[in-house]
Chains A and B, each alone.
Chain A
Amino acid sequence: MIDDFLLRALIAGIIIAVAAAPLGCLVVWRRMAYFGDATGHAALLGIALAMSFSMPLMLGVIVITTAMALTVTFATRHGTYAADTILGVFSHSALAIGLVAAAVLPGVRLNLMDTLLGNILTVSNSEILMMAAGAAGILLVIAFFWRPLLNATLSPELLVAEGGSILRDRLVFTLTLAFFVAISMKLVGILLITAMLILPAAAAAAISRSPERMVVFTAIIGIMSVTGGIWLSWQADIQAGPAIIVTASFLFVLLNLFRRK
């Protein structure tokens, strides 16, 4: 029947696709794709540092991506540069610094290709458990704060006028995103994490009539992309990460061709 490693990859992929759904929608609605990029790219530095100090990889990634996301949030709010420029600067610097750190720090041994593009076919049972725990955490936190998250997306002023807190909104969004980066890099690699977030969500927008339905459709499209991508990767012997994103792009185009007017 189906090989064990394929089944494990599929389960891991489905977990990530479901966790990506509400976050991806928020990233799209808030026009923060670049923010996702900056956060994702910082993961490489996190991995390099964690390896060098022999700490758990996920811990290093969460610490560095959280620091990155908070720095960017602060810099774009108070800086003199346009948000777009700041994000570009941080995103690409983070990637370059991560690559340099991976090359010069002692004790760092990593397969760059797998780190950048993912390698879900080698996922272990304990990694799947970790992903499931992280995904459950992300979903619970987002579900709990769903209404204020939507209000902040619509208008930060409206949120505050009705008694909400922007600081809390930023922390919830930033921390869940950092955790998502940590659990999803094995699936699509740090280069394509933003793609995993925004492609299914953008595709779902074409057929959704309410925010909640868009989240559900995003999850479904994400699961289809993961399934199709892993199958493609196995059939054609190509890396799974890019194959998953190619499938998601295909679904995006398809749904937009048939979008409701």
Chain B
Amino acid sequence: MKPLISVKNLTIKKGKRSLLENVSFELVRGEAVSLIGPNGAGKTTLIRALIGTLKPTSGNIKRKRGLKIGYTPQKLQLEQLMPMPVDRFLSLSGENNREKRREMLVRCDAGNLHNARLADLSGGETQRVLLARALMRKPDLLILDEPTQGLDQPGEARFYALLNEVRSETQLAVFMVSHDLHIVMAQSDRVICLNTHICCSGAPETVSNDPSYQDLFGTRTGLALYQHSHTHSPECNHD
């Protein structure tokens, strides 16, 4: 099967510092791939390169012809003075049918937000609206940057249920940055563990037994995984 996107020896430098080094992988139709890695590992850089807002310093990224990407940013830099009802935001994706926009919102668990102001939404609500917009374009590849931030647990469960549903319907590929290793292990076909370079990748079980993964995230699931977020997040300074 021809890959949707194929990344070869991708290196991106900012000044002299390497943000990404020699990263290679492919994404094919229908698979769910998770990107994990400590803060500063280059996850956002990789996503920007996939989307096309960052140019490779060396190496290349080949997209299948006519590839349609759906993307949900972590958050929108929305200026408070910009009045933007949710429905108008969705129509900016190019979908002109109001009924279809409404259906997609309902499907994404955000049917009641139709007339809300985008700037007034909570983090979780924003993520659901962003997902609706991304799906409305009927993408071949969905790129999600920490999509479940701000969702409560039932919301998160529904989010993944919906993703799986859409994936089995449309053979959509999902590429997702996540911090929640439990979810990653349960919801992905493949995991890529990034720390500037790709430390290891493969099926979830394979990756979790890989020594380089264990170096980064600890050896056991459960307790050890929770320690990870403390040792690797500079913003957590309470231990």
Binding site for B on A (CB under 8 A): 28-31, 147, 150-151, 153-158, 160-162, 166, 202, 205, 208-211, 213-214
When the two chains form their complex, are residues B51 and A161 in contact, meaning their CB atoms are under 8 A apart?
yes
* Distance between B144 CB and nearest chain A CB, rounded to angstroms: 11
When the two chains form their complex, are residues A160 and B84 in contact, meaning their CB atoms are under 8 A apart?
no
When the two chains form their complex, are residues A158 and B84 in contact, meaning their CB atoms are under 8 A apart?
no
CB-CB under 8 A from A154, the residues of chain B are 76-78, 82, 84, 89, 92
* Distance between A217 CB and nearest chain B CB, rounded to angstroms: 10
* Distance between A261 CB and nearest chain B CB, rounded to angstroms: 12
CB-CB under 8 A from B94, the residues of chain A are 147, 162
Binding site for A on B (CB under 8 A): 48, 51-53, 69-71, 73, 76-79, 81-85, 88-89, 92-94, 117, 137, 143
Which 3 pairs from chain A and chain B are nearest by CB?
Answer: A161-B71, A205-B81, A29-B82
When the two chains form their complex, are residues B69 and A161 in contact, meaning their CB atoms are under 8 A apart?
yes
Picked from B73, B79, B83, B85, the residue with its CB within 8 Å of the CB of A158 is B73
* Distance between B90 CB and nearest chain A CB, rounded to angstroms: 12
Given contact pairs A156-B53, A161-B51, a sample of 16 additional A-B residue pairs in the complex whose CB atoms are under 8 Å apart:
A29-B79, A29-B81, A31-B79, A153-B82, A154-B76, A154-B92, A157-B71, A162-B69, A162-B94, A166-B53, A205-B81, A210-B83, A210-B84, A210-B88, A211-B88, A214-B82
The number of inter-chain residue pairs (CB within 8 angstroms) is 66
Picked from B53, B82, B92, the residue with its CB within 8 Å of the CB of A147 is B92
> What does DSSP make chain A's interface, helix, strand, loop or mixed?
helix
* Distance between A89 CB and nearest chain B CB, rounded to angstroms: 22
* Distance between A37 CB and nearest chain B CB, rounded to angstroms: 18
| Distance, CA A209 to CA B118, complexed state (A) | 11
| Distance, CA A208 to CA B83, complexed state (A) | 6
From A80, which residue of chain B is reached at the shortest CB distance?
B15
CB-CB under 8 A from A209, the residues of chain B are 83, 85, 117
* Distance between B123 CB and nearest chain A CB, rounded to angstroms: 15
CB-CB under 8 A from A157, the residues of chain B are 48, 51, 53, 71, 73
CB-CB under 8 A from A160, the residues of chain B are 51-53
CB-CB under 8 A from A29, the residues of chain B are 79, 81-82
When the two chains form their complex, are residues B77 and A155 in contact, meaning their CB atoms are under 8 A apart?
yes
Once A147-B92, A154-B76 are accepted as A-B contacts, the answer to whether A162 and B83 lie under 8 Å apart by CB is no
* Distance between B185 CB and nearest chain A CB, rounded to angstroms: 27
Picked from B52, B69, B73, B143, the residue with its CB within 8 Å of the CB of A155 is B73
| Distance, CA A28 to CA B76, complexed state (A) | 16
When the two chains form their complex, are residues B52 and A161 in contact, meaning their CB atoms are under 8 A apart?
yes
Once A155-B77, A157-B71, A161-B71 are accepted as A-B contacts, the answer to whether A205 and B83 lie under 8 Å apart by CB is yes
CB-CB under 8 A from B78, the residues of chain A are 154
When the two chains form their complex, are residues B93 and A162 in contact, meaning their CB atoms are under 8 A apart?
yes
When the two chains form their complex, are residues B76 and A155 in contact, meaning their CB atoms are under 8 A apart?
yes
Interface centre among B51, B52, B83 (most CB of A within 10 A): B83
| Distance, CA A147 to CA B137, complexed state (A) | 15
Q: Can you report 27 residue pairs joining A to B where beta carbons are below 8 Å apart?
A: A28-B79, A28-B82, A29-B81, A150-B92, A151-B92, A153-B79, A154-B84, A154-B89, A155-B76, A155-B77, A157-B48, A157-B71, A158-B73, A160-B51, A161-B51, A161-B70, A161-B71, A161-B143, A162-B69, A162-B71, A205-B81, A205-B82, A205-B83, A209-B83, A211-B83, A213-B83, A214-B83
CB-CB under 8 A from A28, the residues of chain B are 79, 81-82
| Distance, CA A42 to CA B78, complexed state (A) | 29
From B83, which residue of chain A is reached at the shortest CB distance?
A208
| Distance, CA A180 to CA B107, complexed state (A) | 44
From A161, which residue of chain B is reached at the shortest CB distance?
B71
CB-CB under 8 A from B76, the residues of chain A are 154-155
CB-CB under 8 A from A155, the residues of chain B are 73, 76-77
CB-CB under 8 A from B143, the residues of chain A are 161
When the two chains form their complex, are residues A158 and B71 in contact, meaning their CB atoms are under 8 A apart?
yes
| Distance, CA A210 to CA B90, complexed state (A) | 13
| Distance, CA A202 to CA B143, complexed state (A) | 35
CB-CB under 8 A from A213, the residues of chain B are 83
From A159, which residue of chain B is reached at the shortest CB distance?
B53
* Distance between A158 CB and nearest chain B CB, rounded to angstroms: 6
* Distance between A36 CB and nearest chain B CB, rounded to angstroms: 15
CB-CB under 8 A from B93, the residues of chain A are 162
| Distance, CA A31 to CA B81, complexed state (A) | 10
CB-CB under 8 A from A202, the residues of chain B are 81
CB-CB under 8 A from A211, the residues of chain B are 82-84, 88
Picked from A30, A156, A166, the residue with its CB within 8 Å of the CB of B79 is A30
| Distance, CA A162 to CA B68, complexed state (A) | 7
